[in-house]
Amino acid sequence: MEREQANVIEEPKEVQQEDDDDQPMLSSQALEALKEFLSEQSNNQSHDENGRGEDSEKVDLVTEDWRLSQFWYDKETAETVAEEVRKLSVSTSASSVVCIACPTLYAYLKKIDPTISVQLLEYDNRFEQYGSDFTFYDYNKPEELPQELKHAYQIVVADPPYLSKECLEKVTQTVEFLKKPGDSYLLLLTGAVQEDRAAELMNLYICGFKPQHSSKLGNEFRLFTNYDPGERLGGWEGRNK
């Protein structure tokens, strides 16, 4: 992502006092304000330079479109969930993963393991840039998907775009369409208000790890799984409720 460069304002040279009373001069207040501005600019530039190493570790994504209820995960969340999926893939020999409406996770998965097979289901056609890894998905048509995706995935991760019962029910239909029969690993990222519905619809339990969005939304965001993660992801909460 290109960084917009700040306009540089040069500190004015000292104005020589001349006989001409009309010679323009800065007041002491204006000079003080200008010095403060230049100091802030210098500090900001230093901060940007020091932070470039950290920024370079992040994954570039298209800009969030809030009209599509798009809110990207922060770096810690994306890396934590991606690493969990990678470990599941390695330990179970699961050959492929599908991400439903969670492009941040897709991007970080491909970053930590470019060889992993990941399919991204998304409504936003901007993600066509991912080529054959992208499949258009409208949650209102939960099973209108290519037949080659049916029962093809042992690891399914979903992040429904809306916190409604209807949306979660339809995403559940999509999950059932995609997951392999038998033992499959399901991960759901959604609001805490969906806890009872997640248990009812997909037999999922809440984990101790608390994911976050980079935009710091007010709604409590949680991670649910259908398998016991042990000490990973903060363990399981609420299993015995």
| pLDDT given for residue 213 in this prediction | 86
In whole angstroms, give the CA distance from residue 229 to residue 227: 6
Tokens of 120: 């991204």
pTM of the model: 0.73
**To 10 degrees, what angle do helices 195-202 and 165-178 make?**
30
Q: Where do the domains of the chain lie?
A: 25-57, 67-237
As to burial, measured by CB atoms within 10 angstroms (0-12 exposed, 13-18 middle, 19+ buried), residue 34 is: middle
| pLDDT given for residue 72 in this prediction | 81
| pLDDT given for residue 94 in this prediction | 72
| pLDDT given for residue 45 in this prediction | 46
Of the listed ranges 46-60, 118-132, 177-191, the least confidently predicted one is 46-60
Q: Does domain 67-237 have CATH number 3.40.50.150?
A: yes
29 or 166: which carries more pLDDT confidence? 166
Q: Does the pLDDT at position 99 exceed 70?
A: yes
| pLDDT given for residue 223 in this prediction | 98
Give the confidence band of 165 by pLDDT, cuts at 50, 70, 90: very high
| Residues β-bridged to residue 224 | 188, 206
Residue 153 DSSP label: B
String of DSSP letters for 188-220: EEEEGGGHHHHHHHH--EEES----BTT--SS-
- Looking at the chain, list the stretches that DSSP marks H as alpha helix, in order from N- to C-terminal side: 28-56, 75-92, 103-112, 165-178, 195-202
- At 99 the three-state DSSP class reads strand
| pLDDT given for residue 25 in this prediction | 52
What are 48-69's pLDDT values in tens digits?
444 444 444 556 676 655 566 6
Give the confidence band of 219 by pLDDT, cuts at 50, 70, 90: confident
| pLDDT given for residue 58 in this prediction | 59
Residue 166: C-alpha distances to residues 7, 163, 172, 173, 189 (Å): 49, 9, 10, 11, 16
47 or 213: which carries more pLDDT confidence? 213
